[in-house]
Amino acid sequence: MIRVCALTDLPPGEVLRLDLEPAVAVFHTEDGEVFAVDDNCTHQNASLADGWLEGCEVECPLHAARFDLRTGEPDGPPATRPIRTHQVDITDGDIYLTLSPAAQPGATLPAP
Amino acid sequence: MRRIAVVGGSLAGVSAARALRKQGYDGELVMVCDEPGPPYDRPPLSKSLLAGESTEAEIGLLGEGETFDADWRIGVAATGLRPAEGGVTLSDGTELRVDAVVIATGARPRQPWPDAPAGVFTLRTLDDARALRARLLPGARLVVVGAGFVGAEVASTARALGVDVTVVEALGTPLAAALGNEFGAVIAGLHAAHGVRLLCGTGVSRLVGQQYVEGVELADGRMIPADVVLVGVGVRPNVEWLAGSGLRVTDGVQCDAYGLTGIDRVVAVGDCASWYEPAVGGHSRLEHWTGARERAAIAVSSLLSGGRQRVEGRPPYFWSDQYGRTLQLAGRIAAADSVTVEEGSAAEHEFLAVYRQAGQPVAVLALGHARSFLRWRKQLAAAPTAAG
C-alpha cells in the first residue's frame, strides 16, 4: 500500500500523476470520489492525467477516448481495451493506493 | 415514443443509439446502416488501418456484445422520409413506421472526376481504405489532390510505407480555412520535413491515363507522374434522400443549436447536419469526430425532452495525426483577429498558439503540448462566447 497524499492536497476536479512503473493517475472527482488508474491511454501513448475529467469518466487529451474510472472500461472507440484500475482507500484523511497485481484481461502493460 | 429509427450507422448514428439507451429510452430502436458490414470508426482509415497497424476488428464502433437491443438493418439505405406519418422508406422496399427519427447519414467525398481511370481513389469507407492500401507499395508514386486533413494524413501514412508522395493544393496555403494562413503554412512545413513534395496554388486540370492512371496534369501545364491518385477535396452531405420531407436542407440539414430540425421528433447529427452556432451567429456543418459524438448526445436529449432540456456543447475540437505528431485545434478561428504562439516554436513544429478576438481567446492550436492544450480547451468551454 502506498500513501499518495492527504485528501485535502488533492481537491475535487484535480489529478495527481504518480511516477510509478507504469505511471498511475489518481483522480478526485467533483462528486468527491477518488479513483486510481494506469496513466497511459490504451489507445495510443498519452497521459490520462492530462485528460478531461467529467463525472466518473476521463477523456484522453489526444483522441478523446473515454474511460469509466470505476471499471476502466472504454466508452467505445478509439480505445478498445480497458485501463487497469487500482484500489484506493481513504484512511484518516490520507489517500492510500493498492496497486492491482496483474493486468485486467485484454489490457497490455508496458514491460517493467 | 415507442419506436425510433436512427438512420446512419457511423459514429453519429451509433453515438445517438448509445445516448438513447444511456438517457433511458427503452422502446424499440431501428438502426438503418447502408454500409455492408458492422459499424466502424473512420479516423483510422487514413492512419493506423491504412498503415497496417490496426486490424479491421480493432476499429469497430461497437463494444463487445453491444447491440443497443436494436433491430439492425445492415446494408440498407433510407430513400425517403415523410415526417407527418413517421414514414421512412428503405432501399429494400421496406416502409418503417416510427415515432421519431435521428438523421445521421453523414457525407461522401466530392469527386470532380467521376469517370477517372483505375488507380484514382477517394477515402471515406472501409472499402476505400482496403483498395487504397493495396496500392501503397514501396516506391509507388502517389499524388494527393487536396492538402486538407485527409490528404495530409494519407501523405504521412504513405511516406512511412515508403511511397513517393506529391501533394497538390489549389489554394496558396494548405489548411488556410481550418487554421488560418500563418499556421496552415507551418503545418505544411511538416510535409517538406518528411520528404513530401507540396505544390500549392495550382489546380488540377485533368487526370491522365486511359485504363489506368498515369499522372495528374496541373492547371499550369505541369504533368506529375502517378501510379496512384488520392482525391481529398472535401465532402458533401448525404441529404438527397430527404427531398420532399419538408426539412430545411441547404448544405446539410438545418438544425438549431440543440439538433432540432423544426419538424417535430426529427433531429439530425454528424456530418449531414448543419447546426446553428450561437458563437458564430450562423449555421455550419462540423465534420469532426468529436462533434459527431457529443452532438449525438445533445440531439438525443432534445428529442427525448421535446426540446425542453437544453444541453450546451463544448467548443469544437479535432485532431489530426500526421508524421507521428498530433495536431489539435479547439474553438473557432473564424472570428479571431490575432494569433500568438504561447509555448514552443512554430518553426520547430512543436508549439501552442492561441487565437483571440478583441483580446478574448476563441481558439487554441497545438502540436505536442497536450497538457496545456487541455487547459486552454477547458477555458474556452467556460468562456461566455461558447454559451448559447
More confident residue, B177 or B61: B61
pLDDT at B90: 98
pLDDT at B33: 98
Count CA atoms within 13 Å of residue B16 on its CB side. Answer: 33
Architecture of domain B111-231: 3-Layer(bba) Sandwich (3.50)
pLDDT at B188: 84
Q: Which residues of A touch B43 (CB under 8 A)?
A: 63, 78
**Subunit contact A51:B374, Cβ cutoff 8 A:** yes
How many interface pairs between A and B have CB atoms less than 8 angstroms apart? 44
Nearest-Cα distance to chain B for A79, in Å, is: 9
**Subunit contact B59:A76, Cβ cutoff 8 A:** no
Neighbour-count burial of B38, counting CB atoms closer than 10 A to its CB (0-12 exposed, 13-18 middle, 19+ buried): middle
**Subunit contact B374:A50, Cβ cutoff 8 A:** yes
Average pLDDT of the residues in A15-37? 95
Banded model confidence at residue A77, pLDDT cuts 50, 70, 90: confident
Q: Is the pLDDT of residue B145 over 70?
A: yes
Nearest to B370 by CA among A49, A48, A64, A62: A62
Nearest-Cα distance to chain B for A75, in Å, is: 8
Q: Which pTM was predicted?
A: 0.91
Q: Which residues of A touch B371 (CB under 8 A)?
A: 47, 50, 61
B180-237 pLDDT, tens per residue? 888 998 888 899 999 999 999 999 999 999 999 999 999 999 999 999 999 999 999 9
Architecture of domain B3-108+235-305: 3-Layer(bba) Sandwich (3.50)
Average pLDDT of the residues in B240-248? 97
Q: So where are chain A's domains?
A: 2-98
**Subunit contact B14:A76, Cβ cutoff 8 A:** yes
Do B111-231 and B324-386 come out as alike in CATH topology?
A: no
Contact B123, B109 (CB under 8 A): yes
Cell of A75: 466508452
Q: Is the pLDDT of residue B71 over 80?
A: yes
Mutate: best of A56, A62, A108, partner B, most B CBs <10 A: A62
Banded model confidence at residue A104, pLDDT cuts 50, 70, 90: very low
pLDDT at B167: 97
Banded model confidence at residue B384, pLDDT cuts 50, 70, 90: low
Window from B6-10, B220-224, B358-362, B380-384 with minimum mean pLDDT: B380-384
Residues belonging to chain B with any Cβ–Cβ distance to chain A shorter than 8 Å? 14-15, 18, 41, 43-44, 58-63, 289-290, 293, 317, 319, 326, 328, 370-371, 373-374, 377-378
B327-375 pLDDT, tens per residue? 999 999 988 999 999 999 999 999 999 999 999 999 999 998 998 999 9
Nearest-Cα distance to chain B for A59, in Å, is: 10
Contact B7, B102 (CB under 8 A): yes
Architecture of domain A2-98: 3-layer Sandwich (2.102)
Amino acid at B144: V
Architecture of domain B324-386: 2-Layer Sandwich (3.30)
pLDDT at A75: 86
Nearest to B282 by CA among B307, B306, B251: B251
Average pLDDT of the residues in B81-109? 97
Mutate: best of A50, A58, A66, partner B, most B CBs <10 A: A50
Q: So where are chain B's domains?
A: 3-108+235-305, 111-231, 324-386
Q: In chain A, which among 42-101 make CB contacts under 8 A with chain B? A: 46-47, 50-52, 61-64, 73-78, 80
Q: Is the pLDDT of residue B386 over 70?
A: no
Interatomic CA distance for residues A5 and A91, integer angstroms? 11
pLDDT at B128: 98
